[in-house]
Structure 1
Amino acid sequence: MKWKDWVHVTKLDPDKQLKAGDIEAIASSGTDALMLSGTLNVTQENLSALLKEVKAYNLPLVMEPAGPEAVLMQGIDYVFVPSVMNTTEVTWIVGKHKVWVQMHKGKIPWEDAIVPEAYIVLNPNSSVGRVTKAVCDLKPEEVAAYTSVADHYFHFPIVYIEYSGTFGDPVVVKAASEAVDRAVLYYGGGINSAEKAAQMGKYADTIVVGNAVYDQGPAVLKATVDAVQ
C-alpha cells in the first residue's frame, strides 16, 4: 500500500518513552504506517534508537523532521517534509529546507522518498504552534484558502491540518476537505477514541494518532483504526 492510500498513521515521538511490549501492540493494531516525529528534543540519537525499535515490524516507516539537524533517510520509506503555511516566519516555509539541502549536497532521494507537506497549525498552545509562530486563530474560510493555495498553487501532495494535542474543530476540517482537490488531506490532534477518529475520518483522507498512545496505551489505537478502516 502506497502512502496515498493510508487512512491511519501512528505518530511516535523520539523524545517520549513507550512501555515494554507497546510497539508490538502498536504494530499489530492495523495502523497503516508509523511516523517518527516530534517537535522538541529530537536528535539523530533518539531517532535512531526509535528506528531500531520499530523497523522489525515490517510497517511502512515515515520520518517527519522537526529541523535539518536530525533527519533519517537510511532505513526509512518516506521523509515527509513539512512547510508551515500559517507561520509568520519564512524559515518554517522554506528556510530550514534550504539548510537541509546544503547539509546533504546532492544526496537527498527526491524522487523516491521525499514527500512535501503543507502544514496548517491550529493549536497556539502546542509546541509546534509556539516554535513556528503559527497564526492559529483562523476562520474555516481562511483554513480553506490556505488549503487551496497549498494544493493548487504550490502543488503540495499532502495538506496536514495539525491541532497537535487537542481535538480540533470538525467545521474547520470539513472546510479544508471541501477546498482540497488533488492533495491528500491529513488530520492530527486529540484523537483518543473511536468516536473522534470517525468524526475526523469523515473529512480527512488520513488521520494521525500520536499522544493517545502515550497517554492511554496502545489499546486505544485499535479502536481508532477500526473506526476509519
Structure 2
Amino acid sequence: MKQWKHAFKLDPNKHLSEEGIQAICESGTDAVIVGGSDGVTFDNVWDLFEKIEPYNVPLVLEVSDMEAVVPGFDYYFVPSVLNSKDKTWVLDMQHQAMKMYGDMVEEQLLVSEGYCIVNEEAKAFLKTNCFPVTDEDILAYARLVEHLFPLPIFYLEYSGRMGEKELIRKVSGELSRTQFFYGGGIQTKEEAEELGEMVDTMVVGNIIYDDLEAALRTVPGHKKG
C-alpha cells in the first residue's frame, strides 16, 4: 500500500460497462477503491466486486455503511471525517467497525483514514455534516494525524474539483509517517503528473464516468494503445 502512486475509485451506485471495468483494472493503476457517498448497498457493492475481483489489482472497500461491507476485499478503509460536526463520522462508525471486524486489524486488512472534505458542495461534505475548513485547519488536521492521533492515511478530498497546488505541497510537507492520499478534480495526464510530485497516492474517480480515456491517461506511465 505504501508504494501506491495511483488508485481509481469506482462508485457502486454508478454504471460502468464491463469493458470500462476491464480497462480500469488492466490500466496499470496500483489499486481500485470501491466507495461512494450515496446509494451504496450490499447488493451493488457485491455486484461490482464480482466484476473486478478476477483482475490482478489490489481491491479496497471504503466503508461508508456497515450494512454494505462485502467480504473478499484486500483492504477495508474506514474513514474518520475530521471536519464533521457529527461524532458518527469521526468515532462511532469506527467503533462499530472494530466490534464487527476488529480481527482484521492484526491482519492489516482494516485501515483507518483521516479524512478532510473541502468542497462544500460535494455530496460527501453534506452527507457527513462537515463544517468549512481554512488552509490553516487543513494543515492542523495533517499535523494531527501525523503526530497527535497517528493514522496510516490522511485523505484530502476535494470531491470533483481541483485543490490549490500550493496548499497540497504544504500538506505534503507535514506528512512523513502518514501516507498522503489526494482526491478531487484530476482530469488530465498533466495534472496527474504534477500531483504525483506532491502526494503519495492520487485517487481518480469522477472523470471515469465522464471521459474514460482521459481517466486512463492519469495512470503513471500510461501509453495510448
Query: TM-score, normalization: structure 2?
Result: 0.93
Q: How does 1:129-144 map to 2 (within 5 A)?
A: 129-139=125-135, 141-144=136-139
- Per-residue CA deviation, residues 192-225 of structure 1 (Å, 9 max, x unaligned), is 11121122222110000011111112x2233111
Q: Percent identity?
A: 37
8 Å Cα contact 2:18-2:51 kept in structure 1: no
* Cα distance in structure 1, aligned partners of 2:205 and 2:3: 19
Asked if residue 100 in structure 1 is aligned to residue 101 in structure 2, the reply is: no
- Once residues 223 and 138 of structure 1 are traced to their aligned partners in structure 2, the CA distance between those partners, rounded to angstroms, is 32
Counterpart amino acid of residue 91 in structure 1: T
Structure 1 gap ranges (5+): none
What SS does structure 1 have at the residue aligned with 2:146? helix
Higher deviation after alignment, 83-92 or 45-54? 83-92
Distance 2:180 2:26 in 1: 25
1:195 touches 1:227 (CA, 8 Å); kept in 2?
Answer: no
Q: 1:84 and 2:81 equivalent?
A: yes
Q: Could you give the per-residue CA deviations for residues 82-128 of structure 1, whole angstroms, max 9, x where no partner exists? A: 001111111111012223344x2x66411220111000110110011
CA–CA separation in structure 2 for the residues paired with 1:5 and 1:111: 20
Write the letter of the residue equivalent to 1:92.
W
| Paired residues for 1:142-157 under 5 Å | 142-157=137-152
Question: Using the alignment, how far apart are the partners of 1:227 and 1:191 within structure 2?
Answer: 16
| SS in structure 2 at match of 1:5 | coil
Matched residue count: 222
Among 181, 184, 188, the alignment partner of 2:183 is 188
Across the aligned residues of Structure 1 and Structure 2, the Cα RMSD in angstroms comes to 1.7
Give the gaps of 5 or more residues in structure 2.
none
Question: What is the aligned partner in structure 1 of residue 8 from structure 2?
Answer: 10
Quick one: which amino acid aligns to residue 220 of structure 1? A
Written as runs of structure 1 = structure 2, the 5 A alignment for 1:203-218 is: 203-217=198-212
Whether the 8 Å CA contact 1:143–1:175 is kept in 2: the answer is: no
What secondary structure, in the 3-state scheme, does the structure 1 residue paired with 2:50 have?
Answer: helix
Distance in 2 of aligned mates of 1:87 and 1:107 = 24
List structure 1 runs of 4+ shifted beyond 6 angstroms: none
Q: How much does 1:46 deviate?
A: 0.3
Matching of residue 125 in structure 1 with residue 116 in structure 2? no
Cα deviations across residues 169-191 of structure 1 (Å, max 9, x unaligned)? Answer: 11221121111121010000111
- Corresponding residue for residue 197 of structure 1: 192
Which of 51, 54, 78 pairs up with 1:53?
51
Kept in 1: contact 2:118–2:157 (CA 8 A): yes
Amino acid at match of 1:47: V
Q: Is the 8 A contact 2:33 2:61 kept in 1?
A: yes
Residues 167-176 or 149-158, more deviating: 167-176
Name the residue aligned to 1:221: 215
Q: Distance in 2 between matches of 1:188 and 1:132?
A: 17
Q: Tell me the equivalent position of 1:62.
A: 60
Q: Which amino acid aligns with 1:216?
A: D
Question: How far is the alpha carbon of 1:21 from its aligned partner?
Answer: 0.6
1:132 CA displacement: 1.1
